[in-house]
Every structure is written in C-alpha cells, then in structure tokens.
Structure 1
Amino acid sequence: MKRWLSRAEESLGNHSDRLNAINIFPVADGDTGTNLYQTVRAAARAAQDAETPDLGELLATAGRAAMEDARGNSGTLFAVFLAAFAEPLQGATRLTCTLLASSLHRAQIRSWSALSDPVPGTMLSVLEASAGGAADTASEHAGDDSNHALASTLRASVQHALRAVVRTESQLGPLTDAEVVDAGGVGFLLILDALRAAALGEELQDELLDGLHGYDIQAPHIHNGGDPDGVEVMCTINLSPLDAATLRLHLDELGDSVIMSAVTEVAEGYRWRVHVHVPDPAPALALIHRAGTPVNITVTQLALPAAGDAGR
C-alpha cells in the first residue's frame, strides 16, 4: 500500500501537465492534474511515516492526511475515495480479490454520496466502473484468496476503468464539444493502475493512455478557451451530522460543486472537509462560521491568471 501511493504520486507528477491541459469540467481552471498530485503526495507521505501491518489503519491514516490537504474537486474526491477504501481493510494484513472488491464498492458509495450533485462522465463514473469490474471478477473467484485471483481482479478493475474513461467524452456536453476525455477520470485511472502495478510487482501501463482524445502533451491546453468566474472555498470544520446536513443545504443554495465528507469522529460529531464553488466567498464563509469554527480555510480564484501573471 505504501508502494501504491508512492507510485501514484510519481505517475501523477509525470502526467499532471497533460491532465491540466484537458481540465474543462466542472470548471475550466486547468488544475486537475496539480490538485490530484498534491493530494496524493500528502497521502503518500503520511503512509510512509505510518508503522502498522494493518492495511486499513495505514490507508485510514493516509486518507485523513489527504483529506486535510485536499486540493480542488479531484483531490477532495480522491481523499474521500481513499478514506472509504480503507474501511473494509481494517484488521487485514494482506489484500485479496474479495477485499479489493469490497473496498472499491465502499469507496464508490461514499464518493457519490459526498457530492450534493454527482454527475456521470467524471471520476465518479470511472470509479463506479472499476468497482463493478472488480466485483464481477471477484465473484468468479469466490473463496479464492490466491495472488492469481487478486491479479485478475486488479486487471479487470483497470480495464473497466479505462473503458469508462473513454465513455466520459460522450457523457458530458463540454467534453463532447472539446473532443476530450475527463481529466479526473484519467487521473483516477492512473491511480488505479499504480495499485495494480504495486500489488503485482509490475510496471505502470503507459500504453493505457494511447488514443485517449485530447491526451497529448503537444496539444494546446483546451481549458484556455474558458473563463471561469467565482472562487473555490475549502475548509475543515467539526459539526454534528445534522449541522453538517444544514450547512450542505445552504451551500447548495449559494453555489455548486459542493463536497462534504467526514474525516474522523470527534466530540462534536465529525470533522468535515468542506468544498464549494461560489461567485463570492463572503456569504459562504459567513455560513460556515455560523455553523462552527473552521480551520484550514482556503479561498482560490477559479479564473485563470492572465498571461502576464504566470508564475506570480
């Protein structure tokens, strides 16, 4: 598992520019690759520092670190995925095909429920497809905890994810118009292939990405044609489930891309990671402060910097 997250960090670092280039949904702000890379890096570093043979405990630690340092929609969804993926692995010291299928299924449910308005044709669809492929293959190997069964399940989950990435182009109008696949979906495919490679002692499959529409380092950055407005607000806050549901409802009324996921249980209820896109940060921050005492607050412009501002 430590090797998985390290391989995923390396892969996303190598591919971040191309992921940024095709990032046009939900906001054409050209940072999906960067956000995923930075969030996975936080998870990888936390995993390397953890000393436990328990796979669930290890990945839960990495998931909390990812959640606290999550960047953007894609990074937040990865953090939700990782925290949920860890749950069926609690107490396990070895990954099997059955545990893999259970972890992907749990992660699929939690990731879809974390968003107020989940949309097909995104990372969510790719996760759903990978979970379905793993479940079907694991069921064919019922009661078989061999490495062979695990290898078959890992490969099936990657192949189903790849087919789902290809489908994203036809599932979302903006992607269809730009003739590109979804950046977050490709990023998750890279993460999943890193798990396959790490678990089986194999190399990453760079050829998986051959032929994906728009995915070419020489291609112009598709997102440069957009001009997103507003800001992205993120924070961490301790709330009861009822107060969290109320805050989510109010944030839905103010903006979009609302993601709320529980990081860990605390005295007040749960520690939540909050993400929303809004035209103006002030009303959203006021709602958040009325709900509780937020920390790790970030407010990021969604609009791309002018050419003369690059690097500032």
Structure 2
Amino acid sequence: MNQKIHSNSKAMATWVGRMVKSLGNHSDRLNAINIFPVADGDTGSNLYLTARSAHDAISRLETENIGELLTMASRAAMESARGNSGTLLAVFLAGLAEPLCGVERLTAPVLATALERGKVRAWSALSDPVTGTMLSVMEVVAASARETRLRSDLEPESKAALVEVLDAICLAAEEAVVATENELGALHQAKIVDAGAVGMLIILDELRGALLGHTIDPAEYSTLHGYDIQDPHIHQGVSKETGVEVMCTISLDALGAATLRGQLDVIGDSVIMSPVNPTEDGYRWRVHVHVPEADHALDVIRGIGSPVNVTVTDLCTHDG
C-alpha cells in the first residue's frame, strides 16, 4: 500500500490538536442546533473547551505510548469538562486510552477495541442514557469497526486494514448523525440533527484526517439538517429548562460512588459519573447533574464526601 499512514503517538497528538481547531471553528453552528438535553446553545462551546483542556495537557508531553498520551489528555479533559457533551467526550477519551496502554502504533484491531471501550465507558457513565445523541454515534461506530474487522480479508496489522476501519467508522458516524433526527422527538419536531452527534462526527473525521494526512472540508457538514448558516440559533426558539447544572470532582470508594449516583438520580437528571484516576481508597470521580437548586445537590454531595472543582451554571441563561 502506497498511502502514507501516521499511526504513532505524534499522530494521535496531532488528532487532539486538530479536534480542538475544528470544534472551535464549528462551535457556533453546534451551539445553534443544541436543543437536547437542554436548549441552552452551548454544546459546541463545551466540546471545544473540554478538548482544549485535553490538548493543553499533552502539548509538551513526549511519549511513544499512545495510551499514556490519551490518558493524560482524558484526565485533564475530565477535570475541566463542560456540560453533558464535554463530560461525555472526556469519558470517551478515557475509554479509548485503556486498551492503548503500552501501544506505540495504532492498528485496525486495536482501534476497534479502543472504540468499543470508549463506547462502553460513555454509556455506563450516564444514569439514563438516551439514543439519538452522541452516544448513538459512539455505539454505531464501535459496531462498524468490529464488523469491518470481521468481514475483512486484509492482514489485521496492515496499514490497509487501518484505513479500511477509519473509512468505515466515519461513514457510519455520518449515517448515525443523520438518524438522530428521527430518534429523538424534539429533534424530529425541529427538523435538525443532534449537536453532540455532529460534534462526535467532527472528532472522528479529524481522527481519520490526522492519521491519513487529509484535510476535512467544512462544507461536508452543510447537508445535515439544521446545519446551515442561514438558520442560526434554532435553540432560541425552544423552551428553556429551568434549574442549574452542578459539576464537581470527588474522591469516593465504590460504595460511596454508587450511593451518590443513586441519590443524585432521585433529585435530578442528566447524571453522569465517571472515574478520573485511582486513589488509595477508590477513585476521583467527575460528577455532573441537572437539578432545580444547586444547594440541594451540593448538600447531597457533601454528605458523601468533599467535592472540589465545583461549578454551578444556570440552565436558563446558559447561552454558549
């Protein structure tokens, strides 16, 4: 195969950098079609700022270990994650990193395994996962990578096999984004696709672009419903959810984490909990929840442990 493939840690660092730039360029459009789970117009901003934290953490890191690179990126992203979309991106990166520990060159089988792990981590982090979102893209992409490997007659470790998987997952991601419009009632009514799902498509396109040396044409996304510069800020016409978004980091053992998740499920929604890194007695957890009042959630959290890096954002005035 004559096509040059970049599949080492430098290529993955390039991917994170390209991810940040592309999400920044697309953030206004993603914000404009952000109506789920809250019509607060900030999905693009949240994805961009979270990805930027990941990039900042690895900008001077020199390692040949892809897993080490992505672990550092994911932990920084988790600690600084913004909103539902940013938190799920950070969790996805953490999942990707796990099978890549010690890996110096990305291959088709390893990528398929990493995408599966990223999907599992993201779906399990949510108490009430919903299809028709970026989770659907993760699921379809992981399945596409797995099925492509099963059908392929190419040498698993070959560059051609990696290209085959990259091509397949980006095509599957685009199809999954288009499908979101009919998977969520709110999206179908507004005649748009899901903002977080488009963000995942952009992220995966940039992965393929970084490894294959391709430039992504922004016009490729112009056919997606609602993703047209002539129809800005669709989210402003959707009724806003009242309440606040509470996020924090807290160190808990397994029982404490399960207890906190259960209590947050009772008082709020959009509950996301994912381990950041291990501690002596358990893990540092990143916590995200939407609740009517911040004080109630913070009382519950402080009843279990000692939160740090606490942020409270008003869902009514949040506007990217």
> Following the alignment from structure 2 to structure 1, what is the Cα–Cα distance between the partners of residues 219 and 234?
22
Instruction: Return the match for 1:27 from 25, 29, 38.
Output: 38
Aligned residue number for residue 278 of structure 1: 291
Is residue 194 of structure 1 aligned with residue 198 of structure 2? no
Q: Which amino acid aligns with 2:183?
A: Q
> Following the alignment from structure 1 to structure 2, what is the Cα–Cα distance between the partners of residues 66 and 35?
11
Instruction: Return the match for 1:66 from 65, 69, 77.
Output: 77
Instruction: Return the match for 2:95 from 84, 89, 105.
Output: 84
- What does 1:1-312 align with in structure 2 at a 5 Å threshold? 1-139=12-150, 140-141=152-153, 143-225=155-237, 226-304=239-317
- Check conservation: 1:228, 1:304, Cα contact below 8 A: no
- Offset, 1:216: 1.1
> Following the alignment from structure 2 to structure 1, what is the Cα–Cα distance between the partners of residues 285 and 253?
9
- Check conservation: 1:234, 1:298, Cα contact below 8 A: yes
> Following the alignment from structure 1 to structure 2, what is the Cα–Cα distance between the partners of residues 155 and 54?
24
Q: Secondary structure at the match of 2:313?
A: strand
> Following the alignment from structure 1 to structure 2, what is the Cα–Cα distance between the partners of residues 251 and 92?
37
Q: Which amino acid aligns with 2:147?
A: D
Deviations 1:109-140 (A, max 9, x none): 11100000000000000111111111111221
CA distance 1:178–1:4, change in 2 (3 Å): same
Q: Which amino acid aligns with 2:80?
A: D
Gaps spanning 5+ residues in structure 2: where?
1-11
- Offset, 1:218: 2.3
> Following the alignment from structure 1 to structure 2, what is the Cα–Cα distance between the partners of residues 205 and 253?
44
- Offset, 1:220: 2.8
> Following the alignment from structure 1 to structure 2, what is the Cα–Cα distance between the partners of residues 205 and 100?
24
Of 205-214 and 67-76, the range deviating more from structure 2: 205-214
Gaps spanning 5+ residues in structure 1: where?
none
> Following the alignment from structure 1 to structure 2, what is the Cα–Cα distance between the partners of residues 85 and 5?
13
Once the two structures are aligned, what percentage of the paired residues are identical?
58
> Following the alignment from structure 1 to structure 2, what is the Cα–Cα distance between the partners of residues 201 and 47?
21
Of 43-52 and 278-287, the range deviating more from structure 2: 43-52
- Check conservation: 1:193, 1:205, Cα contact below 8 A: no
> Following the alignment from structure 2 to structure 1, what is the Cα–Cα distance between the partners of residues 29 and 246?
25
Q: Secondary structure at the match of 1:49?
A: coil
> Following the alignment from structure 1 to structure 2, what is the Cα–Cα distance between the partners of residues 4 and 255?
35
- Offset, 1:211: 1.2
- Check conservation: 1:116, 1:259, Cα contact below 8 A: yes
Q: Which amino acid aligns with 1:30?
A: G
- Offset, 1:236: 0.2
Q: TM-score, normalised by structure 2?
A: 0.94
- Check conservation: 1:126, 1:161, Cα contact below 8 A: yes
- Offset, 1:304: 2.7
- Check conservation: 1:162, 1:208, Cα contact below 8 A: no
> Following the alignment from structure 1 to structure 2, what is the Cα–Cα distance between the partners of residues 141 and 5?
31
- Offset, 1:143: 4.5
- Check conservation: 2:66, 2:97, Cα contact below 8 A: yes
Of 207-216 and 105-114, the range deviating more from structure 2: 207-216
> Following the alignment from structure 2 to structure 1, what is the Cα–Cα distance between the partners of residues 281 and 291?
27
| Count of aligned positions | 307
> Following the alignment from structure 1 to structure 2, what is the Cα–Cα distance between the partners of residues 31 and 285?
23
> Following the alignment from structure 2 to structure 1, what is the Cα–Cα distance between the partners of residues 50 and 301?
23
